[in-house]
């Protein structure tokens, strides 16, 4: 299917690996001119053919700089994908609410919520100037709807991101900018697979080997597909929502979770 994205322009954050890398690859394959922003430019990201920019969006000025770079490179901006985020690094993330310090709460919100707020604020003038074709896609998490499924700092910040997308869609829809959210369930990324990531920490706390946890988690999470979501599957949903084919779709939250969430 032709998504009619050829020669559109996009800014993708958190692009070095996992979902962000898959989104960049998918958009480039659809003919989109992409500026891919990440703290580290990995060889895999460089190989996509996208323009790249090394930037830390958890700080106060990174978002403005990356939006300015997109405007300078493309002269316009059609798509913003707020993917930067994570719950897989730092001190032990599995100890529960009483184990988290103020610093950890602030770090989680900076990365998973405020980075998207700042980047959206910096990019919106260009998106509004796109003449009714601007699109924002925020990458949230199943944890925003089922907050017990991950570190409370991470899932609470993602819930804020989901609410943020709803508010933006209401305010800017009449001005021609669509805003949608994609909320993946467990995805086969470093958060689960890395030896020092959240999955390995959770396995140790549960008394399982890392490999055992990866084997049983999809079933335990209620994923009727019986497997982790692949990054490319999330990227496909993002590309559709960013495309003109989804011109009537805004203010939505799309689950890509293998059927894990059972509520209506």
Domains within the chain, CATH numbers bracketed: 9-185+230-255 (3.40.50.720), 188-228 (no CATH)
Which distant-in-sequence residues (6+ apart) come within 8 Å of 71 by Cβ? 77, 126
Look at residue 91 in the predicted model and tell me its pLDDT. Answer: 63
Query: What residues act catalytically?
Result: 154
Report d(CA 5, CA 163) in Å as an integer. 27
Give the global pTM: 0.96
pLDDT < 50 positions in the chain: none
Report d(CA 83, CA 73) in Å as an integer. 21
Look at residue 95 in the predicted model and tell me its pLDDT. Answer: 86
């Amino acid at each position: 299917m032709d998504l009619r994205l050829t020669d559109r322009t996009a800014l993708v954050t958190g692009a070095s690996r996992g979902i962000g890398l898959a989104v960049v690859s998918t958009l480039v394959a659809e003919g989109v001119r992409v500026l891919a922003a990440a703290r580290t430019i990995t060889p895999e990201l460089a190989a996509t053919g996208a323009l790249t920019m090394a930037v830390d969006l958890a700080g106060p000025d990174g978002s403005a700089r990356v939006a300015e770079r997109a405007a300078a490179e493309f002269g316009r901006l059609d798509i913003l994908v707020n993917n930067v985020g994570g719950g897989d690094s730092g001190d032990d993330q599995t100890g529960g609410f009483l184990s988290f310090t103020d610093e950890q709460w602030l770090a989680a919100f900076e990365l998973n919520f405020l980075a998207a707020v700042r980047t959206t604020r910096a990019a919106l003038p260009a998106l509004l100037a796109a003449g009714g074709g601007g699109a924002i896609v925020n990458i949230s998490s199943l944890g925003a709807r089922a907050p017990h499924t991950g570190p409370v700092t991470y899932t609470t910040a993602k819930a804020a991101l989901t609410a943020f997308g709803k508010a933006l869609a209401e305010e800017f829809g009449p001005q021609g900018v669509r805003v949608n959210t994609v909320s993946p369930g467990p995805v086969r990324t470093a958060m689960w697979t890395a030896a020092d990531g959240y999955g390995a920490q959770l396995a140790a706390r549960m008394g399982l080997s890392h490999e055992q946890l990866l084997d049983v988690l999809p079933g335990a999470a209620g994923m009727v597909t019986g497997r982790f979501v692949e990054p490319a599957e999330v990227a496909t949903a993002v590309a559709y929502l960013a495309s003109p084919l989804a011109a009537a779709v805004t203010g939505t939250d799309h689950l890509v979770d293998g059927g894990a969430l059972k509520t209506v």
